[in-house]
Every structure is written in structure tokens, then in C-alpha cells.
Chain A
Amino acid sequence: MKIRSLLAPILGVAAFFGLWELLVRVGNVPTYALRPPSQILRYLFTESTGFPRATYQTGADALKALLIALVIGLAFGALMAASRWFEEAAQPVLILIQVTPWVAYSASVVLWIGGGTKPVLFVATLVCVPAFAFASMTGLRSADPASLEVLRSVNASSWETMWRVRLPGALPSLFTAARFAVGLSLAAVYYTEGGALSNNGLGATGRKALAANAALPLWSTVFCSAILGAIALTSISVLERVLLRWHASQRRATR
């Protein structure tokens, strides 16, 4: 990788933190509201305890929710791609899930399912399913008709067609959905953890800090969540570059 392509994002992030630091110090922001990044980093690395574990907990739950949502979404997408009738039945439900603000019902889910990790996984999975379902439906349906006919000419089974033509062809739209779902999953996990306090994730730590008016731990949870999101998106980009080597989106134009 070129040094230039590594340097640019680092400089961008450094500039952002610098501006933040400057605004907080010059702008007279109350310390209970916002802390400069230098203090957050010092707190995270020298004073705090439990953040690595909390970050791991939140990251693992967000990843689990994403994977479960991917499996369920693929199943829904395959059924919708195969049957208009099923599509018409499932579409309004998926849209309803997509447009209903999950923050409004996540507390009720905690009351219903109970504390701990279960409600966290439930809400995060639920909110991510529609994106994967719609992406798989579109992706599976958009297979090249001529390729499908070549397979029909040797009587390939629908499973063989699915595995060899439709599913690989759906990968680009699934990756797009995954990029969108990463943020959604993290947010749902963080917020629901805050409601189900028995969990040790970042959301629970943040909620406790908020209740105690402790800005440093609160902002540390924000910081750690952002790192999780960045790791997730970078991983998706790497996977994309490997798996979608053939796709137009991954071919660099020579400038």
C-alpha cells in the first residue's frame, strides 16, 4: 500500500481531533458535557478499568447480531426473490421494522425478555434484518438472464443455480447492506445494553456514567464504540477487496 493512501486518513482524523480539542479548550464548554480527546485518551489508558472487556462484549454482541441478521435476511431475501406472493406479504412487515424507531420499544423488549444479553441481541438483530433481506432479494434477482439460461440448458438444479450464479452475484448488494447495518447494529446494541443494565457492555457503562454525571467514562464509551465501528468497516472493506475482485466497484481506475 502506498504511504500516501495511509497518511491521508490519519491526517484527517488528527485534524478532526485537533479541532475538537481546540473547541473544548477555547469554547468554554462545561466539563460535564464534553471533554477534549486528550483527557479521554489519558483516562482510558491510565485511570479506567473494565473498558477492554466492555468493548469486547459490545463488539461481540454487535457482530453476533449482524451474522444472525444476515442469515435471516438471506432466507427472507431468497423466499422473496422466488415468490412475488411471499414478497408482497413480507415487504410491509420488513418496512415496518425498518421505519419504526427502535429506541422507542427497546426498553419494552428488555421488560419482556429480561435483562442480560438476550434483549440486546434481539433488538440489534431485528433492526438489521430488513437491510439484508432487501439486499439479498435485489441481488439474487439481478442475475444475468443469459447466464441463468446457460445453466438451464444443462438442467442445473435451482440449488446449483443459487449457489453458483445467484448468490455470488448478490454479494455486492450484500456488502452495501452490511456497511449500513454495522452502524445500526452497534447503535442498537449500545442503547439496549443501557436499558438492560445487567450486561457489562459499553452501553451499560455509558448509562451508569450518564446517571452519575461522569463525562469522562461516558465519552470513553463513545470513543470505544467509534473504534469498534471503524474496525468493522475496515474489515468489510478488506473482505470486499478480496471477494469482489471481479466487480467494477473494486477495480481502480488508473489516474
Chain B
Amino acid sequence: MSAETAAIRLTGVSKRFGQLLALCDISLTVRPGEFFTLLGASGSGKTTLLRIIAGLEQPTAGEVVVEGGSPADARRRKLLGWVPQSPALLPWRTVAANVQLLTQVNRSANPATTVDTSALLARVGLAGFEDALPHELSGGMQQRVALVRAFALGAPILLMDEPFASLDEITRFEMRHLLLDLWQSSGAAVVFVTHSLAEAAYLSDRVAVLTARPGRVAAIHDIASPRPRVPQLEDTPEFFANVTALRDSLRIAMAPESSVTR
């Protein structure tokens, strides 16, 4: 794949925090419009890797190219939609105003066509909540607002850092369906960080399994399930097979260095 057709290209990326080697020699390519998941246990440096892609953290070595430029360039041009672990909504802004926050700053980089945020809110079941304040919403509703805030940018790349980690299992199940629905009509490439096998198997086109301390890419899995994916997919043998394959891969990745056969 040439550099032009890659949404994100990482070459030999390493990150060191003092004595600790967090990420070691990571090379990855994320295609335009692809749903790409970084799967790993805590401590595998997957969040650090996502932050490096966003330019919120500098790699110790290696090169990161995002939409043909540096991560800092991508942020300047508003090409990245960032979804943090916590919804990070501004408590004094209404739902509608929180969703519009990112289009109100760095305005010169806004795209020519604007995204209809009230339609997006309606799609995630928040019609009628435009004037609500965040504290009046449940955790799942807040995270939906955070998703819409990122999609409202109309950016070609979305970076999501375990956005559903703090939600209960039932809500998480609904959220991954909602996310796919939003993503499919956006055409954006997503890099999704998670430690949930079910999320990875349900959402992704490809899953990169990371080892821990240092984080290395142990394996990359293709998830071939056809799209559009529906919640019933999670009851199929195909889905279980994918979850099992990811679990095995993760188990090997988490094993002590000496026992890993390469």
C-alpha cells in the first residue's frame, strides 16, 4: 500500500518513559475508512500508542504519518476526532453546546460542509435532550454525546481510547451497535483501543493484538464478518470463533517473553 492510500502509517515507533520501555518498534498501517482495533491488557501501551497517533505524546523513535502529514499537522487541520476514556463534557454546556464545542474553536480549519449535529443526536437516541446539562444524563448518554462531538467534526480519522470502559455490560452492548451505525455513514477510519474481546470482534475490520511491557504487535487478525453488522451477530458461531481466536492470540501475547515462539 502506498503512503497516499494510508490514513495512518506508523514505522518503527518506540516510546520510553524513563527506564520503562512502553512501546517497542511498532509498524502499522490503517487504511482509509477502516475500523482498526488495538487490543491489549492494561500496561500494553495501547493508550500511549493512540496518544502518539494524535500527537498528544511524542514517540522516542520512529515515524508517524497521519493523512500524509505529521500528527501535529492533522490536529491543526482538524482531521482527528478524539474520544477520550471519560466523556469529558463541559458541565456548564448543554448537550447541543457540548456537541458543537469543537467546531467553535480553530474555526479556520472547519470543513466546508458542516455535519448536522441534531440529526446525529437523534441517531444515538438523544433527540429532546439538546438542552439538558451533562449531570442530568446517565453515563451511557454522556458517552453518546462524546461520540457525537467527535463525529460532528466530519474528520477522516477518529481515535477512541476505551470509550466504553466505564459503562455496564448492557450499555456497552448498545453502544457498540450505535458506534457502528454512526461510523458506517461517516466513512472515517477509526482506531479503537480496547481490552474487550467482544468489542474487538464485533466492531473491527482488523485487530492488532499487543504484548505488554513493552508493547509490541503480536498479531494482526482480519475479522471477516460481513457488514452491516447487527447485534444478532454476537450469537453466531462465527463471532465465537473470532472471540476465541483473539483470546488465544492475547494469551500468547501476554505470556512471559521467553515462552513466546515467533
Q: What is the bound-complex CA distance between A153 and B88, given in angstroms?
A: 13
CB-nearest residue of chain B to A147: B88
Cβ–Cβ contact A153 & B90, under 8 A: no
Would you call B102 an interface residue if the criterion is a C-beta within 8 Å of the partner chain's C-beta atoms? yes
Taking a contact as CB atoms under 8 Å apart, the answer to whether B75 and A155 are in contact is yes
Q: Can you list, as one digit per residue, whether each of B72-106 has a CB less than 8 Å from chain A (1) or not (0)?
A: 10011010111011101111100000000110111
- In the assembled complex, B13 has its CB within 8 A of some CB on chain A: no
Complex contact A246–B92 (CB within 8 A):
yes
Q: Which of A154, A157, A161, A164 has the most CB of B within 10 A?
A: A154
Interface check B56, CB cutoff 8 A: yes
A149-B56, A150-B82, A164-B101 as given contacts; A156 in contact with B106, CB under 8 Å: yes
Known: A147-B90, A168-B92. A153 touches B109 (CB 8 A): no
Residues of B within 8 A of A150 (CB): 82, 84, 88, 101-102, 149
Say yes or no: B105 contacts A151, CB within 8 Å: yes
Chain A interfacial residues counted at CB < 8 A:
24
Q: Could you tell me if B86 and A146 are in contact, using CB atoms closer than 8 angstroms?
A: yes
Chain A hits for B109, CB < 8 A: 154-155
Q: By the criterion CB–CB under 8 Å, are B92 and A154 in contact?
A: no
Residues on A with C-beta less than 8 A from B85 are: 146
B101 partner residues in chain A, CB cutoff 8 A: 150-151, 164
Contact between B90 and A155, CB atoms less than 8 A apart: no
Q: Is the CB of A154 within 8 A of B78?
A: yes
B91 contact set on A, CB distance < 8 A: 246-247
Which of chain A's residues 89-147 have a Cβ closer than 8 Å to chain B?
144, 146-147
Q: In the complex, what distance in Å separates the CA atom of A146 from the CA atom of B51?
A: 12
Q: Does B54 contact A (CB under 8 A)?
A: yes
C-alpha gap A147/B134 in the complex (Å): 13
Does B153 touch A at the CB level, under 8 Å?
A: yes
Given contacts A160-B106, A164-B104, contact A152 B56 (CB under 8 A): yes
* Minimum Cβ distance to chain A for residue B171 (Å): 19
- The digit string for B209-237, where 1 denotes a CB below 8 A from any CB of A, is 00000000000000000000000000000
Q: In angstroms, how far is the closest chain A Cβ from the Cβ of B53?
A: 11
**Residues on the A chain within 8 Å of B80, using CB:** 153-154
B84 lies within 8 A of A146 (CB): yes
Q: A150-B84, A152-B75 are in contact. Are A160 and B133 (CB under 8 A)?
A: no
B84 neighbours in A (Cβ, 8 Å): 146, 149-150
Mostly, the B contact residues are loop
A245 CB within 8 Å of chain B: yes
Distance of B115 from chain A, by nearest CB (Å): 14
Closest to A148 in B: B88
Q: How far is the CB of B152 from chain A (nearest CB, A)?
A: 11
Query: Is A252 positioned at the interface, with any CB of B under 8 Å from its CB?
Result: no
Residues of B within 8 A of A168 (CB): 90, 92
A184 at interface by CB-CB < 8 Å: no
Taking a contact as CB atoms under 8 Å apart, the answer to whether B106 and A157 are in contact is yes
B16 proximal to A (CB < 8 A)? no
| Any A CB within 8 A of the CB of B135 | yes
A4 at the interface (CB under 8 A from B): no
Contact of A246 among B72, B104, B133 (CB under 8 A): B133
Answer yes or no: A165 CB below 8 A from chain B CBs: yes
B135, A246: Cβ atoms under 8 Å?
Answer: yes
Instruction: Collect the chain A residues with CB atoms within 8 Å of residue B81's CB.
Output: 153
Task: Tell me the smallest distance from the CB of A254 to a CB of chain B, in Å.
Answer: 14
Cross-chain contact A154 with B90 (CB below 8 angstroms): no
CA A221 to CA B102, docked complex, whole Å = 53
Of all chain A residues, which has the CB nearest B51? A149
Residues of B within 8 A of A164 (CB): 90, 101, 104-105
24 contacts between A and B (CB under 8 A): A146-B84, A146-B85, A146-B86, A147-B88, A150-B82, A150-B88, A150-B101, A151-B105, A152-B75, A153-B80, A153-B81, A154-B78, A154-B80, A155-B72, A155-B75, A155-B109, A164-B101, A164-B104, A164-B105, A168-B92, A244-B92, A245-B133, A246-B133, A251-B135
- State the 8 A-B residue pairs at the shortest beta-carbon distance, nearest first: A153-B82, A146-B88, A156-B105, A246-B92, A160-B105, A155-B75, A147-B88, A246-B91
